[in-house]
Amino acid sequence: MSSMMKAAVFVAPGRIEIAEKPIPDVGPNDALIRITTTTICGTDVHILKGEYPVAPGLTIGHEPVGIIEKLGSAVSGYQEGQRVIAGAICPNFNSYAAQDGVASQDGSYLIASGKCGCHGYKATAGWRFGNLIDGTQAEYVLVPDAQANLSPIPDGLTDEQVLMCPDIMSTGFKGAENANIRIGDTVVVFAQGPIGLCATAGARLLGATTIIAVDGNDHRLGISRLMGADITLNFTQCDVVDEVMKLTGGRGADSAIEALGTQQTFASALRVLKPGGTLSSLGVYSSDLTIPLGAFAAGLGDHKINTALCPGGKERMRRLMGVIASGRVDLGPLVTHQYALDDIEAAYDLFAHQRDGVLKIAIRP
C-alpha cells in the first residue's frame, strides 16, 4: 500500500482542492478505513464559503462508508476487510458529556492541546471528522475510538443505501425525535432538503398522521411525498402559516421541524405551533435569531424549543441501518448524482448552487 493518499482539503474560503496527504498512522484505539463512498453535506458548503471556520489543509467531509484496512491493537470485535460505517459524530463514549447523555457535545476539542478528551464540554465538539480532525472526502480516514464508533454494514445493503446513515438520516430522525411526536399528531416540516426529507420520514415512523412538508421547490416537495408527507405547501405560492391554521381548524400544529437555518423558517415554525407545541430546530444558523413575541406568547405559551447535533456511535448506526434493511424507509431517491473524488470540485459547485435537481452526491475515490 502506498504511503500517500488523495484528499479534498480546505485551502481558503471558496477553495477546496484535491491534495496528496500521508495515509494516517493507526493508534491502539483507531481504525483505518478505506473509503468506498462518501458525500457532500450542507455543512461542508458552509466550510467552503468560510462561514464555519476550520484549519487550512484539513480534509473535509464527515460521512464515511468503507472497508476496514487496519485495526488498532485495542480494537476487538471487528476484522480487517469488513464493510463498515461510522457516524459523522464520533464521540469518546467514556467522556463526562457522553455519560451525561450528550455525547455529541463531548470534550474532543481538548485532544489537540494534549489534554484528555474525556474532560470538558463544548457544543459540537463530538463532531470531529472534517472539523477537528481529517475527514472522509479522501481515499482513507482514521476513525478514533473505533470500538464505539464503527458499525458493520448488514449483508445485502449497498453503499448508497447506508450513505445517509452517518449524518443526514441520523440528524433528520433526531429532529423528529426531538419534536415529541405522538401517534395522530400533525407535524409541519420546514425545508425539504436531504435533512428535512429524513425528518419527514422520521415523523411518519413515529406515528404522525398529518405531515405537512414546506419548501419552495416542487421537485423536492414531490420527493417529500415519497418520504411520507401527506400535504405539501410551496411557500412561494401561499402563506404557509395561514394554510396550516386552516388545515388544523385554527388549532395549530402539534410540532414543527425547522430544517433550513434561517430567521424566516424559524419564525414560521414557531407561528404554526399550537400552545404547548414543540419546535425542533435542525438548522445551522449563521446569524442571531429573533423570537417573534406574539408567536411565543410572550414566553407564556408552554412552547418547547429543542436543538440537536446529529447523534453518533455504533448503536445509533445499527438502528438506522436496521430501518433501511427492514424496508420501512427507502432513501435511495436522495442520491441523485455520482462523482469521482478527483472531480469533487465540480461536485461542490453543483451541490452549492443546487443545480440539476441535486439532493445528495455519491463521491467515490
pLDDT of residue 120: 83
Closest C-alpha among 176, 196, 172, 206 to residue 310: 172
How far from the centroid of its chain's Cα atoms is residue 298's Cα? Answer: 32
Question: What is the average pLDDT score of the chain?
Answer: 95
Residue in this structure with the C-alpha cell 472531480, named with its chain if needed: 343
Architecture of 169-307 per CATH? Answer: 3-Layer(aba) Sandwich (3.40)
CA 239 to each of CA 31, 229, 259, 268: distance values in angstroms, whole numbers, following the listed order: 51, 18, 18, 10
Burial 325-354 (b: 16+ CB within 10 A, else e): eeeebebeebbbbebebeebeebbebbbee
pLDDT greater than 90 at residue 220 = yes
- C-alpha dihedral (105, 295, 304, 211), degrees to nearest 10: -90
What cell numbers appear for 226 in the block?
415519497
Whole-angstrom Cα Rg for the chain: 20
> Strand ranges (DSSP E) for the chain?
4-12, 15-22, 31-37, 65-71, 83-86, 140-143, 150-152, 186-190, 210-215, 231-234, 253-258, 273-281, 304-307, 335-340, 360-364
The pTM of the full predicted model, rounded to 2 decimals, is 0.95
**Could you give the count of Cα atoms lying within 13 Å of 175 in the half-sphere of its Cβ?**
34
Q: What single-letter amino acid sits at 106?
A: D
pLDDT of residue 121: 87
Give 238's DSSP letter. S
Query: How do residues 238-295 score in pLDDT, each as one tens digit?
Result: 999 999 999 999 999 999 999 999 999 999 999 999 999 999 999 888 889 999 999 9
pLDDT of residue 51: 87
Distance CA(173)–CA(168), nearest Å, equals 8
pLDDT greater than 80 at residue 353 = yes
Phi, psi of 258 (to 5 degrees): -105, 115
Residues 6+ apart with CB under 8 A from 126: 89, 90, 91, 97, 103, 104, 105, 106, 108, 309, 312
In percent, the amount of the chain with pLDDT more than 70 equals 100
Distance CA(79)–CA(152), nearest Å, equals 10
pLDDT of residue 1: 66
> Mapping DSSP to helix (H, G, I), strand (E, B) and coil, where does residue 346 land?
helix
In percent, the amount of the chain with pLDDT more than 90 equals 90
Residue in this structure with the C-alpha cell 467514556, named with its chain if needed: 94
pLDDT of residue 301: 96
Report the topology of domain 4-90+126-166+310-363: Quinone Oxidoreductase; Chain A, domain 1 (3.90.180)
pLDDT greater than 70 at residue 8 = yes
In the chain, domain spans? 4-90+126-166+310-363, 169-307
pLDDT of residue 147: 96
Phi, psi of 324 (to 5 degrees): -65, -45
Phi, psi of 49 (to 5 degrees): -80, -5
pLDDT greater than 70 at residue 24 = yes
Residues 6+ apart with CB under 8 A from 63: 38, 39, 41, 88, 136, 163, 166, 167, 168
> Among 49-53, 116-120, 182-186, 356-360, which stretch is predicted with the lowest mean pLDDT?
116-120
pLDDT of residue 107: 84
Query: How do residues 77-116 score in pLDDT, each as one tens digit?
Result: 999 999 999 999 999 998 999 999 999 998 888 888 888 8
pLDDT band at 122 (very low <50, low <70, confident <90, very high): confident
> For residue 242, what is the enclosing H or E element?
helix 240-247
Sign of CA dihedral 129, 134, 137, 139: negative
